[in-house]
Each structure stands twice: as C-alpha cells, then as structure tokens.
C-alpha cells in the first residue's frame, strides 16, 4: 500500500451509508455541509455501472469535468460496508491533499469513478472488490475480497507549478514551518523516494518496495531532465508530482520494464531530506 502514503486525508467520517436516493431536492450550496463529507446524507442522484461500480451524489458541483492526468484536491474517507474505517480521518494531515487521476494512485475503482465526476461533487462510491484490492488483504484493516465505500469531495483542480517540454510538475507540503529548511540547489544533497506508475501499471519504479533511498548531489546528472527541474528548490518533507510525456521516457534509467513508445508516466516523489555536502 506504499502508493497510498501521499494521499491520506482528514475529513469528517460519515455516520451511515444508506442506499436511499432522492432526486427531489438539490442541497443548498451555501450550506457548508455539502462542501465536506458529513453525517446525515441525502443522495440526489446515482449511477450504477455494469461492473458494479456505484456513484451516489450528495451534491453535484458545477465545476469542470475530471480528465485523466488532472491533479485534483480532495477530501476522502474509505470504510467497509459494515462501517469500519479503512483510511482517512487525520492519519497524516487535516488539510486537503492532491490526487493524480488515471495513474493508479489508488485502485481502478477510484479512477473510474472520479473520471465520471465534476469539480465540487460530493459523493459516496461503492467500489466492488474486483475494482478495489481484490484478494489482497491489508493486515487486519482491509480483508481480502472486500467491497469499499469511498466518500469523497472533489474540491478543485490544481494547476502545475512548472510546465516544460511537455512535462508537468506539481509540488506540495505537509509541513507548516519550512522556512529554515534547506532548498535543494548548488552544494546540496537531496534524498528521496520515487513511485512511478503508468495508466496500466503500479510500481514501474518503486524505491519504497526496494528500501532504496535515492541520493543525489545537485551537481550530479539527474534523469530525466524534468526530475532535476522538479527537485530544484525542493525541501525536506515535500511531495512532488511529475507527469512525464513519452518524449522524456527514453531518458529514464532503472526502469523495471521497457515502456511502450506512446506511454506517459507519473512520478510521486517524497523528499526525505536535503543536506549540505
């Protein structure tokens, strides 16, 4: 579950996940409860797909469609059908966090559901086991072959901070006070983890699984070029997202498998430390 480290969020947990759907009334958009996941939910619309995925809207936003390759800001919580909490609720932070759509940051059910939603939506998503973790258990937290209930608020889309040669870079931080931390630049060493996913595979690069922390001096050659660009001025504790177009894939070293010429790649980077030489 390493690929989930970066997206655990704080939200209020739903007290119940009833199946009732009503289309009679639209929630008041001025009511703060529709802009975050809350206790008493009245669903206003639903969609059931042939594969068993179900989306139940508590509120429909008027924002943009969600597309593959978008980075969105979300609140979420995951429970089992019996109400047992699996994920969420201030495990890391009380802030909204970013999520890259369509690149296996979570399960297939997540991506498929979110691609059917809009910015501003608040919904409960029923993810059947086949679109979730299937027969992969997560200790005592998530049994094998378990359906998941994902409750989510799509807050907004996030624009990349850098767009260069087709690559896109986002940077974010969980730390409140980082003014005194060193920035990666001349004379500095950066230590970081990478998880690289494509639209079809997880862990094409996974330094977490190999327990292999990457360490580079600023003066070292760092490939692809967008990785060096993304790490420059990064600080300890920051997260970095990089979307790499096919044109940059050929520069990458250390891939566990050869990528097709038309594949793009998504890096999730955790900056562990920045130090002076």
From 141, 157, 173, give the residue that closes a domain.
157
- Asked if pLDDT for residue 26 goes beyond 70, the answer is no
Q: Which of 104, 132, 109, 71 is nearest to 263 (CA)?
A: 104
Residue labelled with tokens 């979730």 = 132
Q: Which two tokens stand for residue 117?
A: 């939603």
Domain holding 65, by residue range, is 2-157
- Asked if pLDDT for residue 27 goes beyond 80, the answer is no
- 175 band by pLDDT with thresholds 50, 70 and 90: low
238 to each of 33, 71, 213, 261, 270, how far by Cα in Å? 30, 16, 15, 31, 6
Give the largest CA-CA distance in the chain.
Answer: 65
Asked if residue 106 lies in contact with residue 4, where contact means CB atoms within 8 angstroms, the answer is yes
- 227 band by pLDDT with thresholds 50, 70 and 90: very high
117 and 203 together in one domain? no
Looking at residue 141, its pLDDT comes to 60
107 and 211 together in one domain? no
Q: Is 250 exposed, middle or buried (0-12, 13-18, 19+ CB in 10 A)?
A: exposed
Asked if residue 78 lies in contact with residue 68, where contact means CB atoms within 8 angstroms, the answer is no
36 and 109 together in one domain? yes
Q: Which two tokens stand for residue 216?
A: 């580079």
From 103, 136, 157, give the residue that closes a domain.
157
82 and 55 together in one domain? yes
Phi then psi dihedrals of residue 77, to 5 deg? -150, 145
Count structural domains, the chain: 2
Asked if residue 76 lies in contact with residue 138, where contact means CB atoms within 8 angstroms, the answer is no
What's the mean per-residue pLDDT of the chain? 80
Asked if residue 80 lies in contact with residue 147, where contact means CB atoms within 8 angstroms, the answer is yes
Phi then psi dihedrals of residue 182, to 5 deg? -75, 145
Of 15-29, 46-60, 176-190, 258-272, which gets the smallest average pLDDT? 15-29
97 and 170 together in one domain? no
Tell me if residue 99 falls in helix, strand or coil: strand
Q: Which two tokens stand for residue 173?
A: 């931080």
Looking at residue 90, its pLDDT comes to 43
- Asked if pLDDT for residue 22 goes beyond 90, the answer is no
121 and 166 together in one domain? no
222 and 271 together in one domain? yes
18 and 106 together in one domain? yes
Tell me the pLDDT tens digit for each residue of 111-155.
999 999 999 999 999 998 888 765 565 555 666 667 888 889 999
15 and 123 together in one domain? yes
- Asked if pLDDT for residue 66 goes beyond 70, the answer is yes
- Asked if pLDDT for residue 272 goes beyond 70, the answer is yes
**CATH code where residue 7 lies:** 3.10.50.40
Looking at residue 12, its pLDDT comes to 28
Chain-centroid distance, C-alpha 172: 12
- 75 band by pLDDT with thresholds 50, 70 and 90: confident
185 and 262 together in one domain? yes
- Say what the pTM is: 0.80
SS3 content of the chain, % helix, strand, coil (to 5): 10, 35, 55
Considering Cα of 274, then 73, then 115, then 160, what sign does the dihedral take? negative
Q: Which two tokens stand for residue 95?
A: 């802030």
Tell me the pLDDT tens digit for each residue of 237-268.
999 999 999 989 877 876 767 788 889 999 99
Q: Is 151 exposed, middle or buried (0-12, 13-18, 19+ CB in 10 A)?
A: buried
Phi then psi dihedrals of residue 140, to 5 deg? -90, 0
The DSSP output letter for 138 is B
134 and 178 together in one domain? no
Q: Which of 202, 215, 224, 197 is nearest to 272 (CA)?
A: 215
75 and 102 together in one domain? yes
* Beta-bridge partners for 269: 194, 240
From 157, 185, 217, give the residue that closes a domain.
157
Residue labelled with tokens 């179900």 = 54
């Amino acid at each position: 579950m390493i690929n989930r480290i970066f997206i655990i969020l704080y939200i209020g947990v739903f007290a119940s996940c009833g199946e009732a759907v009503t289309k009679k009334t639209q929630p008041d958009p001025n009511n703060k409860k529709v802009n975050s996941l809350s206790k008493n939910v009245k669903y206003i619309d639903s969609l059931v797909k042939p594969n068993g995925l179900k989306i139940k809207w508590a509120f429909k936003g008027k924002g943009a469609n969600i597309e593959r390759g978008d980075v969105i800001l979300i609140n979420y919580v995951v429970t089992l059908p019996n109400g047992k909490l699996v994920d969420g609720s201030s495990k890391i932070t009380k802030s909204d966090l970013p999520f890259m759509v369509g690149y296996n940051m979570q399960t297939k059910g997540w991506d498929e559901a979110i691609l059917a939603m809009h910015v501003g939506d608040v919904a409960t998503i029923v993810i059947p086991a086949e679109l979730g973790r299937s027969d992969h258990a997560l200790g005592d937290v998530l049994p094998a072959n378990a359906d998941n209930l994902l409750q989510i608020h799509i807050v907004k889309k996030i624009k990349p901070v850098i767009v260069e040669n087709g690559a896109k870079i986002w940077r974010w931080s969980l730390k409140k006070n980082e003014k005194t931390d060193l920035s990666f630049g001349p004379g500095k060493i950066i230590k970081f983890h990478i998880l690289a996913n494509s639209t079809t595979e997880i862990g094409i690069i996974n330094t977490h699984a190999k327990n292999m922390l990457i360490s580079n001096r600023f003066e070292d050659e760092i490939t692809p070029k967008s990785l060096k660009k993304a790490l420059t001025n990064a600080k300890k504790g920051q997260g970095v997202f990089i979307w790499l177009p096919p044109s940059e894939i050929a520069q990458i070293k250390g891939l566990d498998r050869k990528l097709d010429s038309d594949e793009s790649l998504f890096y999730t980077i955790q900056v562990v430390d920045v130090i002076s030489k």
